[in-house]
Structure 1
Amino acid sequence: MPQIIFVSNGGKAVEAPENSNLLRVSLREKGGIPFKCGGGLCGTCKCKIVEGLANTDAVKAKERKHFSDEDFAQGHRLACQTFVNGDVSVTW
Structure 2
Amino acid sequence: MIHITFITNDSKTVQAPENSNLLRVSLREKGGIPFKCGGGICGTCKCRIESGLEHTDAVKPKERRHLNEDDLAAGYRMACQTFVNGDISVSW
TM (normalized to structure 1)?
A: 0.99
- State the Cα distance separating 1:74 from its structure 2 match: 0.8
For the aligned residue pairs, the C-alpha RMSD in angstroms reads: 0.4
More off after superposition, 63-72 vs 53-62: 63-72
Trace 1:66-85 onto structure 2 (pairs within 5 A).
66-85=66-85
Trace 1:1-92 onto structure 2 (pairs within 5 A).
1-92=1-92
Q: 1: distance between equivalents of 2:15 and 2:70? A: 29
Q: What is the letter of the counterpart of residue 89 of structure 1?
A: S
Structure 2 residue runs of 5 or longer lacking an equivalent are none
- State the Cα distance separating 1:73 from its structure 2 match: 1.1
Secondary structure class of the residue paired with 1:8: coil
Q: 1: distance between equivalents of 2:77 and 2:54? A: 12
Q: What is the letter of the counterpart of residue 57 of structure 1?
A: D
The count of aligned residue pairs is 92
Structure 1 residue runs of 5 or longer lacking an equivalent are none
- State the Cα distance separating 1:70 from its structure 2 match: 1.6
Q: What is the letter of the counterpart of residue 66 of structure 1?
A: H
TM (normalized to structure 2)?
A: 0.99
Q: What is the letter of the counterpart of residue 30 of structure 2?
A: K
Between the two proteins, what is the percent identity of the paired residues?
A: 71
Q: 1: distance between equivalents of 2:44 and 2:22? A: 14
